């Protein structure tokens, strides 16, 4: 069996190796999962919740170990790992276990018409069966963890494939889930290269696929899924704008820009990449931003004072450098950058560029690195148009002391999540749905909407008058039936009193037929 070598991207240290699975392994996993899922689905939601909740014990008892593994495997700081991955995962499992029964309860529907009151309907939630989850390397623990928990609670079996670059974290998710002693085959961990895994999952009968990654791969998977009409949820990244209004707190806005723009070395699909600042606050905001950026410490290791870690992959470093070179060639100016940067090819300084425009890759594509561009605006229509000038629409933010202004601008932004006076944190709120507009994806994860994605709605209709011989519109047909049904239509919706009265008479003539055998 082939091996996957796991390396620390900051130090190039070999962390270990793990088996690389085959497509045949995946086929067997899906087959076993399908058998186990049938019994798992039959359990009550309360029983499933009780079992799944045991996973939280593992997270709490091993939080420091998990944070260290994430840091070594991904290159982010341990504080980042704890604050943005381990803690949100624990919060998420608590939230979903608490609300699973509510999310999965039968929903009784009000009758749509008084003449059909005997038809009582309800919606029940049915698990898909075997759910595939393909997750990325930037938040290798938190992103797949919530989806795994929701899928299991909803009654599905899970096949999890994490990024090849973060297999050590994937193994730790496996340890956490398996600590709960769930039924054999209900959770499965597969290590396959990305494209092979995507094809194999869709070709071997999974019932739904959840994918987080690039737009290009998302489009490929959507095309592939169309061959079998396999439903999927795609979260495909962003190029997120931040609008700083004239009445914003400049200090909070600048600190928020640093957090959302440079946390995780800028490798956040919902992070700030474009900043638009009102001309009246521009100079003060930029002065604060510059002073704080220059003090950031870029490094790795046991030093808890490091603010930002390294880039996770060499390919992403190359992409960032291409965007920077393109911007400089088109007239951008380097306004500020961090001065303390650890040596190593995957460590980049935090950088702020001005004199940018939307012809630059930096402003029109997802850079996914520790780089932001800043533009000045004079009116809010201009700011909104700039913010919406992107083929992506994952998240956005508005910074203002006016709740009314913030809400008004937020409602005009084409993004799946908009925060006011904050950014890059709604993913950590288990109750809020996560997903974007435009090419940022399809469907939602997190919250009730995300939980709903784990099930199919099935409507069940009861007729509460089983002693009636037939419905009004059943066979045999005749002219009286036609006139009676036309009378019902007039009675319900005609504006003419005369027609309503005629309708009642025609309807009364045919009502006895529902009690007769003929």
Helix (H), strand (E), coil (C) string for 209-240: EEEECCHHHHHHHHHHHHCCCCCEEEECCCCE
User: How far apart (Å, rounded) are the C-alpha atoms in residues 256 and 242?
Assistant: 10
- pLDDT beyond 90 at 122: yes
166 DSSP 8-state letter:
G
The CA R_g of the chain, rounded to the nearest whole Å, is 28
Could you tell me the CA-to-CA distances from 325 to 210, 319, 347, 372 in Å, in that order? 34, 10, 17, 14
Average pLDDT, the chain: 97
Q: What tokens appear for 228 in the block?
A: 């079998």
Q: What tokens appear for 444 in the block?
A: 């939602």
Could you tell me the CA-to-CA distances from 109 to 180, 288, 390, 466 in Å, in that order? 37, 55, 40, 20
Write the CB contacts of 207 (distance below 8 Å, at least 6 apart in sequence).
Answer: 128, 129, 130, 131, 156, 230, 231
Biggest distance spanned by C-alpha atoms of the chain = 91
User: How far apart (Å, rounded) are the C-alpha atoms in residues 54 and 182?
Assistant: 10
Q: How confident is the model at residue 334 (pLDDT cuts 50, 70, 90)?
A: very high
Pick the CATH number of 3-236+448-458 from 3.30.1050.10, 3.40.605.10, 3.90.1150.10, 3.40.50.620: 3.40.605.10
What mean pLDDT is predicted for residues 324-329?
98
Predicted pLDDT of residue 1:
63
Task: Residue count of the chain, please give it.
Answer: 518
Percent of the chain with pLDDT over 90: 98
- In this structure, of 55-69, 199-213, 297-311, 440-454, the range with the lowest mean pLDDT score is 297-311
The CATH 3.40.309.10 domain(s) of the chain lie at 240-428
User: How far apart (Å, rounded) are the C-alpha atoms in residues 140 and 163?
Assistant: 8
Q: How confident is the model at residue 218 (pLDDT cuts 50, 70, 90)?
A: very high
Predicted pLDDT of residue 195:
83
Which SS3 state, helix, strand or coil, does residue 323 take? helix
Which SS3 state, helix, strand or coil, does residue 284 take? helix
What mean pLDDT is predicted for residues 205-225?
97
DSSP H or E run through 72: helix 63-74
E strands present in 255-354: 272-278, 297-298, 333-337, 340-341, 351-354
What mean pLDDT is predicted for residues 484-501?
97
Q: What tokens appear for 275 in the block?
A: 């900043």
Q: Which of 17, 74, 21 is nearest to 267 (CA)?
A: 74
Predicted pLDDT of residue 302:
79
Which SS3 state, helix, strand or coil, does residue 109 take? strand
114 DSSP 8-state letter:
G
- pLDDT beyond 70 at 20: yes
- pLDDT beyond 90 at 286: yes
- In this structure, of 470-474, 479-483, 514-518, the range with the lowest mean pLDDT score is 514-518
User: How far apart (Å, rounded) are the C-alpha atoms in residues 3 and 199?
Assistant: 21
Predicted pLDDT of residue 301:
80
Residue 69 backbone phi and psi in degrees, to 5: -65, -45
- pLDDT beyond 90 at 160: yes
- pLDDT beyond 80 at 305: yes
Q: What tokens appear for 294 in the block?
A: 């220059």
User: How far apart (Å, rounded) are the C-alpha atoms in residues 278 and 286?
Assistant: 11
Which tens digit of pLDDT belongs to each residue from 343-367?
Answer: 999 999 999 999 999 999 999 999 9
Predicted pLDDT of residue 248:
98
Long-range contacts at 30-34 (CB < 8 A, ≥ 24 apart): 30/130, 30/159, 30/204, 30/205, 30/206, 32/184, 32/185, 32/188, 33/130, 33/157, 33/158, 33/159, 33/185, 33/186, 33/188, 34/129, 34/130, 34/157, 34/205
Q: How confident is the model at residue 517 (pLDDT cuts 50, 70, 90)?
A: very high
- Tell me the catalytic residues: 235, 269
Predicted pLDDT of residue 409:
98
Which tens digit of pLDDT belongs to each residue from 83-106?
Answer: 999 999 999 999 999 999 999 999
The CATH 3.40.605.10 domain(s) of the chain lie at 3-236+448-458
Residue 398 backbone phi and psi in degrees, to 5: -130, 135
- DSSP codes, 23-60: HHHHHHHHHHHHHHHHHHHHS-HHHHHHHHTHHHHHHH
Predicted pLDDT of residue 235:
97
Q: Which of 269, 341, 267 is nearest to 300 (CA)?
A: 341
- pLDDT beyond 80 at 435: yes
Q: Does residue 172 have a cis bond before it (omega within 30 degrees)?
A: no
DSSP H or E run through 456: strand 455-463
What mean pLDDT is predicted for residues 307-333?
97
Predicted pLDDT of residue 405:
98
CA angle 447, 450, 451 (to 5 degrees): 85
Cα 459 versus chain centre, distance: 26
Percent of the chain with pLDDT over 70: 100
- pLDDT beyond 90 at 2: no
Residue 440 backbone phi and psi in degrees, to 5: -80, -5
User: How far apart (Å, rounded) are the C-alpha atoms in residues 115 and 503?
Assistant: 14
Residue 139 backbone phi and psi in degrees, to 5: -125, 75
CATH class for the region spanning 240-428: alpha beta
CB atoms within 10 A of CB 466: 7
- Beta pairing partners, 398: 243, 420
């Amino acid at each position: 069996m082939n091996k996957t070598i796991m390396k620390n991207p900051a130090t190039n240290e070999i962390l270990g190796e793990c088996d690389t699975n085959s497509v045949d392994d995946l086929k067997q996993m899906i087959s076993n999962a399908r058998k186990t899922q049938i019994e798992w689905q039959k359990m009550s939601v309360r029983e499933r919740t009780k079992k799944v909740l045991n996973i939280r014990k593992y997270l709490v008892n091993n939080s420091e170990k998990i944070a260290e593994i994430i840091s070594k495997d991904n290159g982010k700081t341990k504080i980042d790992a704890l604050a943005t991955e381990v803690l949100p995962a624990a919060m998420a499992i608590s939230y979903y276990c608490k609300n699973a029964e509510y999310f999965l309860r039968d929903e009784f529907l009000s009758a749509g018409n008084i003449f059909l009151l005997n038809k009582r309907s309800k919606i029940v939630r049915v698990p898909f069966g075997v759910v595939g989850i393909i997750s990325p390397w930037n938040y290798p623990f938190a992103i797949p963890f919530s989806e795994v928990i929701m899928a299991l609670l909803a009654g599905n079996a899970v096949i999890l494939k994490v990024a090849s670059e973060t297999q050590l974290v994937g193994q730790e998710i496996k340890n956490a889930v398996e600590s709960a002693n769930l039924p054999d085959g209900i959770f499965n961990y597969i290590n396959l290269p990305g494209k092979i895994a995507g094809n194999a999952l869709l070709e071997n009968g999974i019932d739904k696929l959840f994918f987080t990654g690039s737009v290009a791969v998302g489009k490929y998977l959507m095309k592939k899924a169309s061959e079998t009409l396999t439903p999927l949820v795609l979260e495909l990244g962003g190029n997120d704008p931040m609008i700083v209004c004239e009445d914003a707190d400049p200090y909070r806005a600048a600190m928020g820009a640093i957090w959302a723009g440079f946390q995780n070395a800028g490798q956040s699909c919902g992070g700030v990449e474009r900043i638009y600042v009102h001309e009246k606050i521009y100079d003060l905001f930029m002065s604060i931003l510059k002073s704080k950026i220059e003090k950031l410490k870029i490094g790795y290791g046991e030093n808890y004072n490091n603010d930002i870690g390294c880039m996770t992959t060499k390919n992403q470093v190359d992409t960032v450098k291409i965007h920077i070179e393109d911007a400089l060639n088109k007239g951008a100016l380097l306004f500020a950058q961090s001065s303390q940067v650890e040596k190593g090819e995957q460590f980049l300084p935090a950088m702020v560029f001005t004199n940018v425009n939307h012809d630059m890759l930096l402003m029109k594509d997802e850079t996914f690195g520790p780089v932001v561009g800043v533009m000045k605006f004079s009116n809010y229509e201009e700011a909104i148009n700039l913010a919406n000038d992107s083929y992506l629409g994952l998240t956005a933010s508005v910074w203002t002391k006016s709740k009314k202004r913030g809400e008004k601008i937020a409602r005009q932004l084409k993004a799946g999540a908009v925060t006011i006076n904050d950014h890059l944190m709604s993913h950590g709120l288990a109750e809020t749905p996560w997903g974007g507009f435009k090419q940022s994806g399809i469907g939602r994860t997190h919250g009730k909407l995300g939980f709903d994605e784990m099930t199919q709605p099935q409507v069940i209709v009861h007729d509460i008058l089983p002693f009636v011989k037939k419905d009004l519109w059943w066979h045999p047909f005749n002219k009286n039936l036609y006139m009676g049904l036309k009378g019902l239509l007039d009675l319900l919706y005609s504006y003419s009193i005369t027609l309503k009265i005629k309708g009642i008479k025609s309807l009364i003539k045919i009502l006895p037929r529902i009690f007769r055998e003929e």
